[in-house]
Amino acid sequence: MNRTVVISGGAAGIGRAVAILCAGLGDQVTILDKNEKTAREASEQTILCGATGAIGLACDVTNEAQIEHAFAQIYDQFGAPAGIFASAGIDIGGLIHEFSLEQWRRVIETNVTGVFLVCKYGLRYMLDNGVAGSIVCASSPAASVAFASGGSGPYSASKGAISALVRCMAIDYAARGIRVNAIVPGATETGMMWNNVPRDKISEMRKQLEHEIPIGRLAQPDDPARAVVWLLSEQSSYVTGSHLVCDGGILAKASISV
């Protein structure tokens, strides 16, 4: 039986890579994204890659009514989800004393409230239909350490909250056959990776990162995506409440040279 997999933020980056890999397994794939055009384009690509069904829905993860409506559409077309990857997120850099309340709310509402709402409605359909499945949420090394470049307080706070939420959900739903884990991707070649880097500095920064990352390169979206697909699969059936680090060795490395 084909699984139904829902991916928020699935039109680009790691989310899109997960969608394509799930399509290759014959899953029914739903992509949620704020941009309706790119969501539909990504869903069409998953069909070409082997998905047995796919839809792309315009959906703001901070809007509960839109999330509720999206999951109702998914259920009507494919049934209850068996896999969810909550990956929609933003990164706005800045020092706390200069950060506006509006910016703070944008980061927290997108990264934390968005994950909460996707999990809330995904869990409802899974529980109501007796589906034993897997949820993966996108955390970050920033949940555990501050970025060396600084100015990551709001983003780090949001990812720390996601990590805490994952642990709690894992305990709350384990007895119902639902596993909840986090993926912890490191520096990955996505659009969001360079949000806080001036365009004319990206090439220089990429070379610096390649020198600093123990494996010697930035990840491609497929790298963490393969880890997510494993967490969504039955191959990880005894894994819940965990954080799968896929960062090229960043968190294992001391920040000083001696």
Ramachandran angles phi, psi of 136, nearest 5°: -125, 130
Q: Rounded to two decimals, what is the model's pTM?
A: 0.94
The answer to the question of residue 88 being in a domain is: yes
Compute the distance between CA of residue 41 and CA of residue 220 in angstroms, rounded to an integer: 20
In a domain, 238, yes or no: yes
Domain count, the chain: 1
Whether residue 127 contacts residue 148, with contact meaning beta carbons closer than 8 Å, is answered with no
Answer yes or no: is 169 within a domain. Answer: yes
Quick check: is 194 in a domain?
yes
What residues are labeled active site?
A: 155
Confidence band, pLDDT 50/70/90 cuts, at residue 252: very high
Arithmetic mean of pLDDT, 120-132? 98
Name the CA radius of gyration of the chain, rounded.
Answer: 18
Which pLDDT does position 202 carry in this prediction? 82
CB count within 10 Å of CB 101 equals 7
What is the rounded average pLDDT of the residues 122-140? 97
Measured on CA atoms in the order 188, 152, 63, 117, is the torsion positive or negative? positive
Q: How confident is the model at residue 211 (pLDDT cuts 50, 70, 90)?
A: confident
Return the pLDDT at 209: 86
Is 256 within a domain?
no
Res. 258: pLDDT tops 80: no
pLDDT for position 256: 75
pLDDT, tens digit, 9 for 90 and up, residues 86-116: 999 999 989 999 999 999 999 999 999 999 9
Rounded to whole angstroms, the Cα distance separating 11 from 31 reads: 7
pLDDT confidence band for 147 (50 / 70 / 90): confident
Specify if 252 maps to a domain: no
Whether 258 is in a domain gets the answer: no
At 69 the three-state DSSP class reads: helix
CATH number at residue 63: 3.40.50.720
- For the ranges 7-11, 46-50, 177-181, 204-208, the lowest mean pLDDT is seen at 204-208
Q: How confident is the model at residue 1 (pLDDT cuts 50, 70, 90)?
A: low
Element (H, E) at 86: strand 83-86
What are the backbone angles phi and psi of residue 219, rounded to the nearest 5°? -75, 150
Residue 21 has a pLDDT of 98
| Among candidate residues 84, 19, 43, the one with its CA nearest the CA of residue 225 | 19
pLDDT at 205: 83
Q: At what angle do helices 222-232 and 13-24 cross, to 10 degrees?
A: 50
On average, the pLDDT of the chain sits at 94
Distance CA 38, CA 33 (A): 8
Position with higher pLDDT, 1 vs 250:
250
Range of the domain at 56: 4-244
The C-alpha atoms of residue 36 and residue 26 are separated, in whole angstroms, by 23
Q: Is 255 a domain residue?
A: no
List the beta bridge partners of residue 32. Answer: 8, 57
Percent of the chain whose pLDDT exceeds 90: 84
The pLDDT, as a whole number, for residue 84 is: 98
Query: Each residue of 18-77: pLDDT tens digit?
Result: 999 999 999 999 999 999 999 999 999 999 999 999 999 999 999 999 999 999 999 999
